Amino acid sequence: MSDLLMRQQEFAAMLPTLLQFIIDNGYQYTLGDAYRDKRCPYGNRRSLHNERLAIDLNLFKDGRFLQSSEDHKIIGEYWESLGGSWGGRFNDGNHYSLSFNGMK
């Protein structure tokens, strides 16, 4: 089994834990970008989205869309405690990934 496939499986297994944490803390979410086709003209071509190791989550509380990295902080720090990388550390608060080959 390739290293990438193993990381993809690990990432997929971690996501339900994160999503349940979001719900348990009174938030709602919708899914944003997960996979980005390398042929698409937007975003970083070395993105972990291209490797199926990242997802952007749209976060809501009491019907209000939460956009800032600060809004995602409790969730991002929880994701980090699970072993993931949180985009709030580089001003992309809704980005949740699993590092691979030096990328976060």
Please tell me the predicted confidence (pLDDT) of residue 103: 86
Please tell me the predicted confidence (pLDDT) of residue 102: 87
Confidence (pTM): 0.91
Identify the residue whose tokens are 């834990």. 17
Q: Report if residue 76 sits inside a domain.
A: yes
Q: Report if residue 10 sits inside a domain.
A: yes
CB 53 within 8 A of CB 35: no
Q: Report if residue 103 sits inside a domain.
A: no
Domain hosting 7: range is 3-37+44-97
CB 70 within 8 A of CB 86: no
Residue 37 has what DSSP assignment?
Answer: -
3-state helix, strand, coil in the chain (%, to 5): 35, 20, 40
Residues of the chain with pLDDT under 50: none
Q: Report if residue 102 sits inside a domain.
A: no
CB 29 within 8 A of CB 58: yes
Please tell me the predicted confidence (pLDDT) of residue 39: 66
Please tell me the predicted confidence (pLDDT) of residue 87: 95
Give the domain CATH number at 51: 3.30.1380.10
Q: Report if residue 104 sits inside a domain.
A: no
Please tell me the predicted confidence (pLDDT) of residue 104: 82
Number of domains in the chain: 1
Please tell me the predicted confidence (pLDDT) of residue 47: 82
Q: Report if residue 23 sits inside a domain.
A: yes
